[in-house]
Structure formats: structure tokens, C-alpha cells
A and B are shown apart, each in its own frame.
Chain A
């Protein structure tokens, strides 16, 4: 039995501890916000937060979340910080096909938590583990910069 906190709620599961966290979230908990883009930790579409830090859930065994706090886009989207980011993404056009977007939002949250006032270069490095094929990233960088300024004090 593995116990952890998922989007603010205590949960426990009786699954193979070597299961990929991504599969557990998508299949067992029906949280389909995290996506599988590459299955090898390269694209970041599966990103979630574990104790506030970004991880690639496609390469993360279930056992590693024991007694930790996991936040997916579904949980994050209930927060004020999400709203600040979502508004900025809208204004700057940071989402196109949307498949990378949940992971990108998680990456932005993880970055801003550690560095609430990043430079553009720091944002680029912060989201460099998340691939986007639609936007060329500039609009995402601008959105994160805008959220950081407008959401002053949230992070």
C-alpha cells in the first residue's frame, strides 16, 4: 500500500510500486491532464509537481511518491497562481494545440516558486525540459514573464 497526497487529498493505492506515476494518475485516478508525449522524460507533457518541484511522471516510479505531495494540472488549476498564469497565457497566446500546455503550466509554477522574478533567459532555461512544437516558445516566455509581474506576491 502506497500512501501519498494527491491534489490536496490523502490517497492510498495498492499497485505495483514500479508502475509509472503517469499511468497511475491517468488510469487509476482518471487524471488525464498529464499527457504521454515521448515516454522517456524528454518532452515534459507528463510533468507534475512532487513536493512543489517538477518531475516527469512517465519516468517516475509510484514508490517514489510515498508520503509526498503530488499536484497535477487538475489540482493546480484550483489555485490563484494558476489563474494568473492562465490569464497571461491567454493574453500572450501561449497555448495552441494544448498538448504540452498542462506540462508547461506545471513547469512555470515550479520555476516561479523557486524564482519569482526570473529573467527571460531564466524562463527559457526553466521550461527547456518541456517541448512545444506549435508556438516557438516566445509567447509562452512572455506569458510567464507577465504572470510573474502581474501575480506579484503570489509566488
Chain B
């Protein structure tokens, strides 16, 4: 049998390269209407009165009064309205849709709508906590009793915009018996379906969600599409015609969810042998106007508080703060990038204060198999980080460069981050919230169909999941089909998030395929259903946050080399080297593609991508002023995949997608730190910030 890691042709290669692949904006329908959203222009205000102009024939207003069910979008936390009723809470809060035949007429009508507001005082500070979480490990009191040294630092991270190249969009249309079908650029067909069901108060068979090609998502199409879908479903229900709503870039950037800005305080108690005996951490996340997924993002950030290190005594807490700004949400990494940046900087800053080699301090604390995790779970599986670190140092010539770049006059630096990423939903999420189901169907011609809700948004899920089934069944690839998910046909295998698709959905498919193989009868229709079962040894207490937070962890090492201009303080990334343990790669080329794309986003998060608001108004809302890397900004990469098969993963595979992002920011920030010989506390490390550090900060 062929090694499954050997790359095969990407399932959708030809349609993608030839431009034949259909994305939602490419889909046409007869008698279609268009919709545009009327939004709040104030960060916080009461709506006193709305004056609507006379509407021409075939033009409609849709607002909260048209909602047949509940006026909130079903997410983990249900505080996000479909349409504002009496109050708006951020600039861009949706108030109504204007629907009609001609886009220009819609714009003209929107210009004539008069909304009278009573402006209220908005909040922008980390003041109003809406979610508080905490957990402890070991004996933190003892650790902080008479330490040799106590060291504290605070770190800050900014917004990051997903900047998928395809903006968000949907088409919704009525079918017989009041059923509504939605086609949209989404990651999670069943999130959308369940949200629409609640908003509409419909029975389960009255909503259908279909996924077309998706032009990038990165978390941005996890929960936000449900907002658009609910609004459009309400509109279709009222008007009874197909409606298309595709955001333009400016609207997309202004109102869709971003990575949470954060402020992270870390305090370590260190003993005479330079061992970090205790760590206290507090994570503050800015949720924006609605909580949405912020509580879960907070949990992942807090659990990442020791990253790839083992520290015996912990006191970790965090708060989600509500502000009158655009709601923040899912973005590849989901809270971990903020925390791993802080931890990696902190351990280097501790080493600087203790005046020892950071590498020695880090190796002293590197997690080993059977160590307790931050939440007092167990790292059950082998950890091969030492080997990975050695490899990364070898291919990047790290030791030599670290020495040369110690000369502060060269303005060059090299930084190395170590990290892990928990695969799958946090805590008992996979068993209590998701409970994934997959189905394989074989028809009388022996064609096998994958009936799962996993979305290929570019990462290659179609190729990887089908490959697992093909390899297990041992039949030709053409005999297996995997169409885009359609909720009328596929089971809820869970959302395409949390680095869970290959490991969890792929694992269930591998089991189903094995069963099908064992019971296979030629020319007979067959169906195999598999459902997720949490391994019994995994225990998690949601309230105390104690136990195994994840069934498995992927691990990584990133090395980034930079040169900082002595004149402009601009950073040029010169080289990137990575080593990953993703268990077993299901397709090397796909994993390397994730590695390249993930590190590009992670490194850019650390030094390039700037988004800020001023009194609640985002200052960057186009591709011209929100800068993502071009081919010229990106350096060459070298990636090594090290095998360390995970016993419960399909063919040994663990999660990939998010791992490749989370270490980028600290690696580039550490490289910049060396180049400018100053401590970096904040990302993105822009030229302005570097100048500030050089002129004003002590080393």
C-alpha cells in the first residue's frame, strides 16, 4: 500500500486553476433581487425614529419586525441580534435590509432613509467584563512564597483581519412549502442552518444550506455568515423571491469579525535554580459589541498560557470585555496566537533579566511526555520537540546567526518560537456540543459517497478526507465521490474549525470506511454511520477548567530571520524555517501548503498587519490601507514535517491548519527584538513602534 503522505492531485485543482469553480457571487438566478444593509453610524445610540421614503414597486424594507422567530443569531452565546431593535451598539450594527431589483436604486433609497438617534456614551476600554474564567494548577501560593525573583510584564496584541480574498456573500431563495434554501460562502453549513431555524422558528426540514466553492475563510466564515443568513432568510420569507447579498470589500472589512485585540499580564515566581515555580496570568480580550464566540476564544487563550512549557503551579484568569466596537470572533488560532506571543516573549524577557541564555531557560521548561498540561491534564503521547528544535536550528543555522546578530550595529535578528496547538474543540466540546456524525453511502454501482459537512475552503479537505476513504477501502479514486456539503443530504459532522477536520472527521471516516470494507457486498446499496465517541480516559470539568483540554496536541517550531532598516525601521523578513509534528501528514503537499500560508499570516500578524479604531470607527477598511503580505514581502520558507503518529488519528494524523499560524508572531517579534536590541511587548511591531522603542525604551 502506498504511504498516505505521498501527495496526490488536489481534488478541485482543474476547476480552480481554470476559473470554472463557482463561488457564490458567480451563481445566477432568474428574477433575483439584491439586498444591502442599513447600518448604525454611531458606536452607541438609541434609535428614536426611522423615516422610510416611498418605496417603488419591487423594493422592500426588512427589519426586526419581520422576524418570525427569535431576534438573535444562534451562536455559543446568544446576544447578537439579527437586526437592531431600539439600540445600536457599534458602528455598522445592522438595522434593516433594503431589497430590490437594481443596486443603484437600493443605494439611492438608503440615502433617503432618515434615522433619528439619541447618541449614548460608548465604551472602548477594558472595563466591563462580561465573561470571567479562571483555573489553577498545583500550589500557586507556595510558589510565590519567598521566590528568588518575581518578574512581571504586560503584552498587547492588535486586531487582525482574516482578509480572505472572496468577500462574504449569500444567495437565499424560497422553495415549496415555505422552505428556504441558502447558498453561501461558509465554513459551517450546520451552524448556518441551526441559526436560521431559530430565527425563523421553522421545523428542521424547512431550511437547507448548500456550500459552493469558498474563497478562503480562516475563521472569518465560521460564525459571521450566520448573521447574513438569518437576515436573508427573513427577507426571503417576507418577499418570496431569490435574494443575493454579496459584501463589497469595505463593508466586509468594516463589519465582519476580527481577531480579538488583547492585553496579557504575566508574572513569574523564579527560584534560585532559575526554575519558573509559578506563573500568574491574566488575559483581557476585547469582544466588541457582542460576545458571540469570545468566551471560547478566551478559554483557548488561557489554556495556551504555558504553551510548550511545563510549569507546575499556575493561577490563570481571563476576562472578555464588551466595547462599542465591531464584534470579534473566530480567526485561525482562536485565542492561542495572542497568548503564545506573550509567553514566548515573556520567557525570553525572564532570561534577559536573569542574564542567562534563553535557550537554556526554555529547554529547562520544555514539556515532556506524561507532564501535566496547564489544566492538569496529561500529555499522554510522545513529545518530539527536542528533535524538532534541533532540526529547526540546524536548517536555519540558528546558533551561528544568533551569535553574529548580537552585534547591535548589524540590525539583523533571528527569532525562534516553540508552540503547540490543541486539536479539536476545547474541553468536552466534541462530545457535548458537536457530537459529530459521518455517513458513507454505497450505491448499487459500488460508487461510494462521503456524506459529511466538512467544507473545503482551500485547505484541501476534499482531497484529504476522500484520500482517507480511498486508501482504507483500497478502491480506485474515481469510485469515491465527495460533493460540496448540502444539509439536505449530509450529516452534521461538525463545523470546519478548530483543526478538527482531518483528525476528528477524518478519523470517523476512516472507521466508517473500514466497516464498509469489512461488510462490503458487491452491487448492494449500503450505508455506514459513525458517531464521535470521546476516549474514556479524557476527563474535563467545564466549570473549573481542569482536566484534558484536548484529545491531542500538534507541535511546532518556527525560526524567522529579519533585517530592520536603520533609516525607516521597516522590517524585511529574510528567511523562515519550520518544523511540525502533525502526527502523520495525510498529504505532504497539502500540509506544506498550510505551513506556508499559516506562517505568512502569523508572521504578518507580528509585524505588518495593522488595524485600529478611532472612537469605534475602523481606520483600515480596504485592501489599500489594511496591508497583507504580497509575494515580495514573503520570504522563502523551508518546512520539515516530522512523523509522530497519534494512535487515535486516521493513519496517525493530528490537526494542521491553526498550528502553522500560532508561532509566526513571536518568532518575528523575537527576531526584531534581537535586531533592535530592545524588548518588544506589542504586536504588530510596526516601524513607528520600533522607533518608539529605539528612542525611548531601556534595553
Contact = CB atoms under 8 A, between A and B. Distances in A.
B165 A132 contact: yes
B593 A97 contact: no
Contact of A95 (B16, B26, B214): B16
B632 A128 contact: yes
Given A35-B23, A36-B25, A77-B19, A42 B12 contact: no
A137 B600 contact: yes
B249 interface: yes
A128 B634 CA distance: 10
Contact of B216 (A39, A129, A133, A139): A133
Interface in A89-148: 89-90, 93, 95-102, 105, 120, 123-125, 127-141
Nearest to A85: B17
Nearest to A45: B165
B271 interface: no
In the complex, which range does the number of interface residues on chain A fall in? 35 or more
Identify the interface centre among B590, B597, B637: most chain A CB within 10 Å of its CB: B597
Interface stretch (B359-367, B504-512, B542-550, B620-628): B620-628
Contacts of A74: 18-19
A90 B457 contact: no
Contact of B631 (A30, A34, A141): A141
Q: Give chain A's interface secondary structure class.
A: loop
B217 to A, nearest CB: 8
A19 B520 CA distance: 58
B292 interface: no
A46 to B, nearest CB: 11
Nearest to A90: B13
Contact of A124 (B248, B458, B631): B631
B433 interface: no
Interface string B202-235: 0000000000011111100000000000000000
B216 A97 contact: yes
Interface in A17-44: 26, 30, 32-40, 42-43
A86 B9 CA distance: 12
Contacts of B21: 98
Nearest to B634: A137
A73 interface: yes
A95 B13 contact: yes
A98 B624 contact: no
Interface in B245-280: 248-249
B561 interface: no
A24 to B, nearest CB: 15
B636 interface: yes
Interface residues on B, range: 35 or more
A120 B593 CA distance: 18
A31 to B, nearest CB: 8
Choose among A26, A34, A100, A105 the residue with the greatest number of B CB atoms under 10 Å from its CB: A100
A86 B597 contact: no
B249 A131 contact: no
B631 A39 contact: no
Contacts of B249: 37-40
Nearest to B13: A90
Contact of B597 (A82, A96, A99): A96
A89 B596 contact: no
A100 B10 contact: no
Contacts of B288: none
Nearest to B163: A133
B22 A32 contact: yes
A133 B218 contact: yes
Interface of B: 7, 9-10, 12-23, 25-26, 28, 162-167, 213-218, 248-249, 457-460, 589-590, 592-593, 596-601, 622-624, 628-632, 634, 636-637
Given A33-B19, A133-B597, 13 more contacts: A38-B623, A42-B622, A96-B460, A96-B593, A96-B597, A97-B213, A97-B216, A98-B21, A102-B18, A120-B636, A124-B634, A136-B596, A138-B636
Interface of A: 26, 30, 32-40, 42-43, 45, 72-74, 77, 82, 85-86, 89-90, 93, 95-102, 105, 120, 123-125, 127-141
Nearest 5 A-B pairs (CB), nearest first? A97-B458, A33-B19, A99-B215, A98-B16, A136-B600
